[in-house]
A and B are shown apart, each in its own frame.
Chain A
């Protein structure tokens, strides 16, 4: 599990280089998110397009990553596939994140 971050305009784009965010990587995911967001400012967009599955541990790690942010930072999500979106919707966590259909749309959006 590896997360990488790059700056696109005013947005920090975080790429997820794994197909699964599950119990085996949830702690690592949250730790890496903490490292990335510690050094960046403003808006972060997590590009979930390579992710085909997330379990409740992975969901908790994404929520935890948002809770780690300071008041000037935001975390938005992009590129969820159907199975990932389903977990967010069933748990109503879709209502606490700004979610974009894909990264391009997220980058065009002025949200955050």
Chain B
């Protein structure tokens, strides 16, 4: 149904999902932040060095795991998707008969540095093939797609702070939705603080007034926040993002279709470098719903993921926070093993999850689902996604997993 307009697919899938999971979610309202508010907080109360930070990358649409971590030597793989299967010369082998998609050179370098963990066969029992239901399960970490997101519930275990967890974009991602408090959103797209006489007029309008009731006072205060960008803050906003010094200048393969993942990560990099008191960042990329003509579309998207994240990690290395940052990359489901009639794949079950960073135990984790043992033509689930959330909660966010994951009590040792 969504194949209509490839160019719009990013926005369609992501926006649709965010609005639709709404079908269950009544979250606490999200705070909309301005970049200035975050920059001021970075100066006033920077995140102490050494505090772990989690960056969550959501791939909307259902990424085809078999063409991401490719079992290129497997004859079943080659025979079930003859026109879609990659040959050895087209991929980046990483052992165990598996290889990364040829567009993922950035991930391959991180793998070689032992900073990439690949968890295989990740999903949950009784896979739901609806984008919306499945993404709701992943984002809520509950098989009944509860109304709150797993990181929103984490926010609620912490001291109240609108800067604690931030989603990039104009709409709160459901994973940050809490019942009483939610994460915040930071819209992209460079709004401008007024200047000149309009600025001084608006500054007057934003003063306190004895006659203000609570809401009017709040309206004045939010306007005041705009104009309280101190001389100290301005340089942070004008500063270029941290340099990515150790990357080759040409990484290739990243033509178009990037949506704005790299723009989102650029802002995250800047604000982490500035010391924003933020423990969780959420960014996303849509367009993975490749029912037709999959290979070009998917490799373009995977190239964007790989390039923008390797650039981001390289930027982190030029700051003193590179040990603090761990990145999680996931999608709501993998795709069917057998290709369909239009050189694409339909909705499937399990898929690989990636963790990146200096704290991860690089290498393979979890069992690769066997292509000899398909279940209703689909891959088995060999790892429950909550085992990954569990370790992130405990080792990155210092919170017992049971408090957030509804008594889920196991975790996978993915971090050192």
Our verdict on whether A and B bind, yes or no, reads: no
